Structures are given as structure tokens and as C-alpha cells.
Amino acid sequence: MGVGYWDQKLHSPMYFFICIFSFLEICYTTVTMPRLLRDLVSDDKIISIQFCVVQFYFLFVFGSTENFLLSTMAYDRYVAICNPLRYNSIMTHRSCVLLILGSWTGGFLAPLMPVIFLSMSFFCGSSTIDHFYCDFSPLLHHFCIADGIYMIETVFFLLACIVIIGNFVFISTSYGLVILIISKIPSPGGRRKALSTCGSHLTVVCLFYGSIIFMYVRSDHSVPTHVDKVVSLFYSVITPTLNPLIYGLRNKEIKQALRRAVKIIFLRKPTFQV
């Protein structure tokens, strides 16, 4: 994020979105990692219902925002490759800010209904949550009323379909059109250059949606909890950790900006003031 701010060559909509995406990943891991690390070194694993619901809400706020932001980044690549002459007039600074605000607004609103229902529900049975954090499936197993389980499961499934599948279809359609345009580029070098601007984003999309579609786009949440825990660990810890490496190592301009930043830091001559 700091490199993008100081390097003028990275002042473009694509890197602006990557900067926001990096900040979002920090927020996303902050929801789960501190509590997870605390539980690993402490015998006190008690968590209040209120804190559990808050953790659930912000987990899905940042998860939903990531869905919308990935769609925004796919739209940016679609405009850059399919409408290159109009790119600067379409992806203005105002348009980028509005797209980001829309992504965050959608992220905060999407999980609001399930959270309101959870905050008004009664939990019974065992007081132990068999999970790393307060996810939907383990909380569902502690509902007291069977009708309430069916209702919240249906609402959550519909919201997951709208947010996850809706954005996934939009991203797939955008890249389908991008690939169609790239296939018409006559030179192999031109095709490679166009594909290189999409490679990092496509890798992140595959990693992210491969796990969350399995986790949340299903009407039956009776999958064994050990399977849920392994998959949720992948998308909540491993994928956010890999994303900076994916964007950093696969992007030529970011690597060049990092080299320039290192040279400025280490080759700067010391000055003395008398």
C-alpha cells in the first residue's frame, strides 16, 4: 500500500483497487486471527454470545465486501481490455471511489438480516463451539427452536446465492468477454501482455470462490465440522496470506516499484544538519 502511494507509476485504477483490497484483507484476518492465536496459547477459551455475534457480523461484512470488490476489479479489467480507448473516461477517480463505496455499502448491508436474527435468538445445548471462530454452521447447531433453524438457514442460503453466486457469475461473464477479445489479438506478445494484467486477479478469484462456494452456497449445513474447519481455515487465513504474494510476485510493475523503493531507502545519502 505504501509503495503504491509513493510510486507515481502505480497511480491507476487497477492499483487503487489492489490497495483497497490489501486493506480489506488486513481487516478480514483481524476478525479471526487475534482470537485464534489467543486460544492457541491460553486455557481461557470463553467467548460471550455478544462478542460471538459481532465477530460473525464483521466476518461476513468483510467477506461480502471482498465479493463486491473482486467484481469491481473484474469490471476494471474488462473496460481496460475491451474498451481501451474509453478506459480513462469510464474509470475516472470519481467512478472508482463510487465503486469502492458501493462495495463497502453492500458488504455492510448483506449480513445485516442474519445478524439481527441471531442477536434475537436463543441458544441451548452445549456451550462449546466446535470451530476456530463464530461461523454460521457451528452457531446453527446451538439453536433451540427447529423452526428458527430452517428460517435462518433459508435466509442465509438466499443471501449467499445473491452475494457469492451473483458476483461469481458477473466475474465469469466479464472474463469470458475479456478472453474473447484477447483471442482476437493477432500477436502472441500482445495476448500474453493482456493476459498478464488479469493473471493475479484470476488466481485470487479461483482460490477465494473455490472455498466459499463449498462453505456457504448449500442449503444443508450438516457437513462434518472437521471438513468445515479445514476449508474455513483455507479461505480465512491461508488465502489472505497468499494474496499479497500473488499480486506482488506476479505483477511486473509492483516488483519494479518495490525495487525502486528499496534503492531509494538504501542508496539515499545521509545528510547532517549543523
- Domain extents for the chain? 2-267
DSSP element (H, E) containing 208? helix 188-216
Note whether 171 and 70 are within 8 A (CB).
Answer: yes
In a 10 Å sphere around its CB, with 0-12 CB exposed, 13-18 middle and 19+ buried, how is residue 201 labelled? buried
Instruction: State the Cα torsion 246-22-15-245 to the nearest 10°.
Output: -20
pLDDT of residue 96: 93
pLDDT of residue 207: 86
Q: Which residues contact 154 (CB under 8 A, 6 or more apart)?
A: 219
Q: Of the given ranges (2-6, 9-13, 88-92, 263-267), which has the lowest mean pLDDT?
A: 2-6
pLDDT surpassing 80 at residue 66: yes
pLDDT surpassing 50 at residue 3: no
In a 10 Å sphere around its CB, with 0-12 CB exposed, 13-18 middle and 19+ buried, how is residue 200 labelled? buried
Show the cell assigned to 30: 483481524
Of these ranges, 18-22, 55-59, 167-171, the one predicted with the greatest mean pLDDT is 167-171
The domain covering 2-267 belongs, at the CATH homologous superfamily level, to Rhodopsin 7-helix transmembrane proteins (1.20.1070.10)
pLDDT surpassing 60 at residue 61: yes
Show the cell assigned to 78: 474488462
Q: Of the given ranges (58-67, 175-184, 220-229), which has the lowest mean pLDDT?
A: 220-229
pLDDT, mean over the chain: 79
Supply φ then ψ for residue 186, to 5 degrees: -70, -35
Using the 8-state DSSP alphabet, how is residue 43 labeled? S
Average pLDDT value for residue range 122-150: 72
pLDDT of residue 9: 54
For the segment 197-235, what is each residue's pLDDT rounded down to a tens digit? Answer: 787 788 888 888 988 888 888 766 655 567 777 788 787
For the segment 27-49, what is each residue's pLDDT rounded down to a tens digit? Answer: 888 888 887 777 777 776 677 77
Q: Taking the CB of residue 189, how many other CB atoms lie within 10 A of it? A: 8
Q: Place 7 in a pLDDT band, splitting at 50, 70 and 90.
A: very low
**Secondary structure of 73-100 in HEC code, one letter for each residue:** HHHHHHHHHHCHHHHHHHCCHHHHHHHH
What's this model's pTM, rounded to 2 decimal places?
0.82
Portion of the chain with pLDDT greater than 90, in percent: 23
